[in-house]
Amino acid sequence: MYAYDEYDQAIVDQRVAQFRDQVRRRIAGELSEDEFRPLRLQNGLYLQLHAYMLRIAVPYGTLSSAQLRQLGHIARRYDRNYGHFTTRQNIQFNWIKLEEMPDLLADLARVQMHGIQTSGNCIRNITADQYAGAAADEIEDGRVYCEIMRQWSTFHPEFSFLPRKFKIALTGSPNDRAAVRVHDIGLRMHRDAAGEIGFEVMVGGGQGRTPMIAKTIREFLPKEHLLSYLEAILRVYNQFGRRDNLFKARIKILVHEIGVEKMRAAVEDEWQQIKDGPLVLPQATIDAIAAHFAPPDYRPQPADQPEVDLLRRGDAEFALWEKTNLFPHKVPGYAIVNASLKPEGLAPGDATAEQMEIVADLADRYSFSEVRVTHAQNLVLPHVAVKDLPEVWRRLREIGFATPNLGLITDIIACPGLDYCSLANARSIPVAQRLTHRFSDLARVHDIGELQIKISGCINACGHHHVGHIGILGVEKNGEEFYQITLGGSADQDASIGTILGPALSSNAVIDAVDNLIGTYLDIRQGGETFLRTVRRVGVAPFKERLYATA
């Protein structure tokens, strides 16, 4: 994976020194909160419901074992022994002390980490397919281009004060695991007719109070033009994006208001003026970055794995885990292992210091010291030899990260909600917890099959409810928590925004409501049809009728 050069390290070290002085001046009363707030936000430090919250960037979801171990140290030394992996592939710590932030940032800088680009109206930390560089179905390792974009976007002087925050996601596989169509810019790597690999460029997607699916403005962009084309889009947005209204300031509103044709024309106009300038990416530059992402030293693996076969036949739990929590690796004899951070009854995406350290140890021993963070709030060991699966499974099971539920009904995405977030209107985590209790029978969970429940505690949609197969949105009515249910959303290559089923339900009713929807699905599904396919075939009406008939 990418290792900082002296420039990267100098930037981050300088930032630590600057912030140390800023914190000193704030505590001494030389800076007011109004003066200090933008400075702390530029380092990922928010003031949340209970305390300061620090959001740390995990660029394109890739972590080294040393970095994950250091996050465990941060949890133990500076927080209450746990952190929360987010839907932006970042990690948040909930109980940070301002006066300890300078030392904390210095500890992070030692492992090439920081909170830059995790807040503010800049280009945010870029997200990607968590299986990049490992997946059997991938066309190319997109992290190379994510890293190039990271270097281009960090402290980009023209794009540090955009109308609003700006999120870019990239997938190098035709099977989109990075939700690229609900980002300000989505990039999908594919081959053109001549067999060249380049990018489909999508623009204007997003969630929040106005969910939109991104529109394709360029079918094929050669790699060398990636940065100039992005710069053209950002310039058009920077000039025409609405700064008069916070709720209309995202690029999705601009694209919606002027239409994709005008947007495309404006971007192409701008691009023609800069496309052959200094932003052209020479092959040598691409190669130099790509060298950082060279495949690890895979060893030839025997075709027969009698020990694994034996365990598979003898242990139904292992067999179930292998069926759901692995993903095909591009190298024979290897597998991608998902550690499920969705055990029954706990907060989705939470991990303690000890859990982080054990996953880091497993990465060192079994996955070339690499870990990934997924936008679905799980962790990944990307390169595990099949012969090591039994041991990895046992160790993950010991720390509660081996629930065989990946992509199933209890693999729930949930934002922190009102338990932690000052923007939230209702709690998210307890709803997820109650759902994992209701659906604790693994046989039933596997019978229900592929199903994504996504829960947000407010309309900002950090919990991605708009693109949940079942989406749950918390709202407040007269001081009480209510939950609005949507059906048929999806964040993959066939992205769609869910349809609101009907009036919001009380906190008491929401778990039964999900059970009711599952009942309808099980009654009307045809063959091996997934929940989402069933909703798309019959629409929401049958679900709605049965749900509200009993209400």
Partner 1 sequence: MTQESKRPDPEDVAKDRRQTKSGFVPQAMTANRLRDGAVIFLRQDHTWSENLVDVAVANDAEQAATLQAAADRDVAAARVVGAYLFEIAVENGDVLPLRYRERIRAFGPSIPWDRPVSADQLSR
**Contact footprint for partner 1 (CB under 8 A):** 26-29, 32-33, 47, 49-52, 76-77, 80-82, 94-99, 347, 352-354, 418-420, 424, 427, 429-430, 433, 476, 478-481, 507-508
What does the alpha-carbon distance between residue 389 and residue 298 come to, in Å, rounded to a whole number?
15
Could you give the CA distance from residue 416 to residue 463 in angstroms, rounded to a whole number? 8
179's torsion region: left (phi>0), alpha (psi -120 to 50) or beta?
Answer: left
Using the minimum distance from each CB to partner 1, give the nearer residue, 28 or 303: 28
In whole angstroms, the minimum distance from the beta carbon of 224 to partner 1 comes to 47
Q: Report the residue number, 40 or 375, with the smaller CB distance to partner 1.
A: 40
Burial of 260 (0-12, 13-18, 19+ CB in 10 A): middle
Nearest by Cα to 59 from 297, 434, 372: 372
97 vs 537, beta carbon nearer partner 1: 97
Shortest separation between residue 31's beta carbon and partner 1, angstroms: 8
Shorter beta-carbon distance to partner 1: residue 76 or 533: 76
Least distance (Å) between residue 508 CB and partner 1: 8
| Cβ distance to partner 1 smaller for residue 77 or 444 | 77
Nearest to 543 by CA among 494, 499, 509: 499
Question: Quick one: DSSP state of residue 528?
Answer: T
Residue 58 or 96 having the CB closest to partner 1: 96
Q: Provide Rg for the chain, Cα atoms.
A: 23
Q: Do residues 380 and 135 make contact, with C-beta atoms less than 8 angstroms apart?
A: no
Nearer to partner 1, 26 or 250 (CB): 26
d(CA 416, CA 149): 29
d(CA 30, CA 34): 12
Dihedral pair phi/psi, residue 269, rounded to 5°: -55, -50
Q: By C-beta, is 46 or 321 nearer to partner 1?
A: 46
Smallest separation (angstroms) from partner 1 to the CB of 346 = 8
Q: Are strands 82-85 and 480-487 parallel, antiparallel or unpaired?
A: unpaired
Quote the distance between the C-alpha of residue 161 and its chain's center: 23
Cβ(469)–Cβ(490) below 8 Å: yes
- Dihedral, CA of residue 291, residue 293, residue 295 and residue 297, to nearest 10: 80
- Least Å distance between CB 47 and partner 1? 6
Q: Minimum Å distance from CB 417 to partner 1?
A: 9
Q: How far is the CB of 280 from partner 1 (least distance, A)?
A: 46
Shortest CB 76 distance to partner 1, Å: 5
Minimum distance of partner 1 from residue 70's CB (angstroms): 14
Among residues 251, 190, 252, 263, which one has the least CA distance to residue 221?
190
Report, in Å, the least distance between residue 33 CB and partner 1.
Answer: 5
Cβ pair 324, 404 in contact under 8 A: yes
Pick 77 or 323: Cβ nearer partner 1: 77
Q: Are 359 and 379 in contact (CB under 8 A)?
A: yes
Q: Of 52 and 220, which CB lies nearer to partner 1 in the complex structure?
A: 52
Residue in 482, 427, 432, 438 with CA at minimum distance from that of residue 452? 432
Alpha carbon distance 11, 156 (integer Å): 13
Helix (H) or strand (E) holding 102: helix 101-110
Write down the least CB distance from residue 352 to partner 1, Å: 6
Nearer residue to partner 1 within complex by CB, 82 or 543:
82
- The backbone torsions φ and ψ at residue 337, rounded to the nearest 5 degrees and listed phi first, read -105, 125
Residue 257 in tokens: 């208001």
- Nearest distance in Å: CB 511, partner 1: 12
Taking the least distance from each CB to partner 1, the nearer of 80 and 190 is 80
| DSSP bridge pairs for 517 | none
